[in-house]
Amino acid sequence: MAALSILTVKFVAIGLSKELAGNYNSAYGFLQLFGILADFGLYAVGVREMARAKDRSAVLCALIIIRSVILLFSLTLALALVWLLPQWQGTPLPLSVTVAALVPLFTLLAGILRTVFQVHHKMQYVFLAEVTQRIITTGLIALFIVAGVRGSSDVRLLNVFLFIGGLGAFVLLLISLAASSRLERIQWRRDPAVIRSVLRQSVPFGVAFLCMALYRQIDVTMIALLRPDFEIQNAEYGFVLRMVEMGYVIPTFLLNSVLPTLSERDARGEDTRELLGKTLIVLLLLGAIAALFSALWARPLIELLTTDAYLSTPGKPGSDTALRLMALPIFLNGLVQYGFYVLLNRGQSKPLVKILGSAAVLSIGLNGLLIPSYGYIGATTTSNIVHVLLTITLMVRASRTMAAHIFAQALLKIFLFACVLGVGLWKAVPLLTSEIPTVIGLVAASIAMTVFMFAVRIHTIFLPTKTVGMP
């Protein structure tokens, strides 16, 4: 998924002019906020409730009904705003958002069916649906690049690229519907009691998810509102956020996979400390890898995944500057997500809303101060400040809510691995002079990381143990 999404970024950067690429990123950035509103915490709550429910079919039907109603309201609100805001009148953005709305429409409907795969531990169907979607999207856009499209300023091509994204999302929905029906029979019956129960539990977490979306994704929309050069700003920053999202989504998938097991064990009163400790170790490992590549290989990665037009110059920041500045938030995001899911599992919505709501207010305030003068550099500064404060607050709260066993030896291995990886990446930077050396470097780094992981026996951290570790 990550590889195909990155290829799509590359093809869009090649095929569209910087101004249209900015509209492409602005459209998806704007819709992300309303996509989170449409999710409204249903997925996370749905996984927990489906794992515990005796009548899963009734819960699934209630989730689909609630998701459909909220999704219709959310996308209608998004389209009304984008067509009415005076800042965007006369720009391609309103029509681009309208076409791009097909993606959250189909993706969110498919997403609620993913709860079935999650609780049945049949994630191969998610793999099939998600990868097929991205193959279609990437493949169709690639046809235009093969046909010789380069830096086009044709607005029609922008909307064609966005429509292709919607087509891929529609295929995702079809595959998810077909596969989920094999695991869980969907009974199309409206059960008001179940709907009210699911809605009552999801509303607080929906507010929490909305706050998370605000502190993580409001900056693209605020750049579009506050900067007259928003097309260029969001062209350079938007592609970086697409790459950062790949760093964000892996911890999310991991925690979504852990949540059903955690919920079941916790409900039975079993000891979950080892499970949580190993989850934390995985998050630290993944975060360290993503952050080190973002910080040390920012320029070669941006050159590989976009074009030279997006690189920084001595007098001007570029996408590589933004990626380097986002390294710390990429690392901390996994810890933020961990704290979120621990509180979600225990149903502690009030402290979660309070913490994330404060983060959203702080993010909006700082972005409002910094973006007009510094553009996306101000946005990345805001992201660093918010993530540091959130990590401290949520990890303290999570540790008090559910303890985790973390072995000192495991932390030492992760630290040693990160140090060796960091030195290796830093030493290799002078060799990455063009796209081909960077590709070779990525392959070599992947092989080296795998070999070193086995050399220091990092894989043994995740094997079952009978001894009690250090808290």
Domain contains 226: no
Q: Considering only CA atoms, which of 169, 177, 36 is closest in space to residue 100?
A: 169
The CA radius of gyration of the chain, in Å to the nearest whole number, is 22
For residue 32, the 8-state DSSP code is H
Number of Cβ within 10 Å of residue 464's Cβ equals 6
For the chain, what is the mean pLDDT? 84
Stretch 60-78: mean pLDDT: 83
Domain contains 376: no
Confidence of residue 48 (pLDDT cuts 50, 70, 90): low
What is the pLDDT, as a whole number, of residue 55? 66
Determine phi and psi for 318, rounding to 5 degrees.
-140, -170
Stretch 203-228: mean pLDDT: 82
Confidence of residue 471 (pLDDT cuts 50, 70, 90): very low
Alpha-carbon span 283 to 413, nearest angstrom: 14
pLDDT per position as a tens digit, 230-279:
888 988 998 888 888 877 778 887 887 787 788 778 878 888 888 888 88
What is the pLDDT, as a whole number, of residue 336? 92
Whether the per-residue pLDDT at 50 is higher than 70: the answer is: no
Confidence of residue 8 (pLDDT cuts 50, 70, 90): confident
What is the pLDDT, as a whole number, of residue 61? 75
What is the pLDDT, as a whole number, of residue 468? 36
Domain contains 40: yes
Domain contains 465: no
What is the pLDDT, as a whole number, of residue 470? 34
Confidence of residue 367 (pLDDT cuts 50, 70, 90): very high
What is the pLDDT, as a whole number, of residue 259? 76
What is the pLDDT, as a whole number, of residue 466? 46
What is the pLDDT, as a whole number, of residue 461? 66
Residue with tokens 């279609």: 136
The secondary structure of 140-169 as a DSSP string is HHHHHHHTT--SB--HHHHHHHHHHHHHHH
What is the pLDDT, as a whole number, of residue 467? 39
Token reading at 194: 């179940």
Whether the per-residue pLDDT at 122 is higher than 80: the answer is: no
Domain contains 108: yes
What is the pLDDT, as a whole number, of residue 351? 87
Whether the per-residue pLDDT at 103 is higher than 70: the answer is: yes
Whether the per-residue pLDDT at 53 is higher than 70: the answer is: no
Pick 386 or 116 by higher pLDDT: 386
Stretch 141-156: mean pLDDT: 91
Q: Give the chain's domain count.
A: 1
Most confident range, picked from 1-10, 213-222, 303-312, 383-392 = 383-392
Whether the per-residue pLDDT at 111 is higher than 90: the answer is: no
Stretch 181-194: mean pLDDT: 70
Q: What percent of the chain has pLDDT over 90?
A: 35
Predicted TM-score (pTM) of this structure:
0.77
Residues of the domain holding 131: 1-190
What is the pLDDT, as a whole number, of residue 124? 79
Domain contains 132: yes
Q: What percent of the chain has pLDDT over 70?
A: 89
Alpha-carbon span 56 to 52, nearest angstrom: 8
Alpha-carbon span 183 to 410, nearest angstrom: 37
What is the pLDDT, as a whole number, of residue 120? 66
Domain contains 39: yes
**Beta bridge mates, 313:** 316
Stretch 8-13: mean pLDDT: 86
Residue 29 to residues 248, 258, 269, 274, 451, Cα–Cα distance (Å): 15, 28, 41, 38, 38
Pick 191 or 414 by higher pLDDT: 414
- For residue 404, the one-letter residue type is A
Domain contains 165: yes
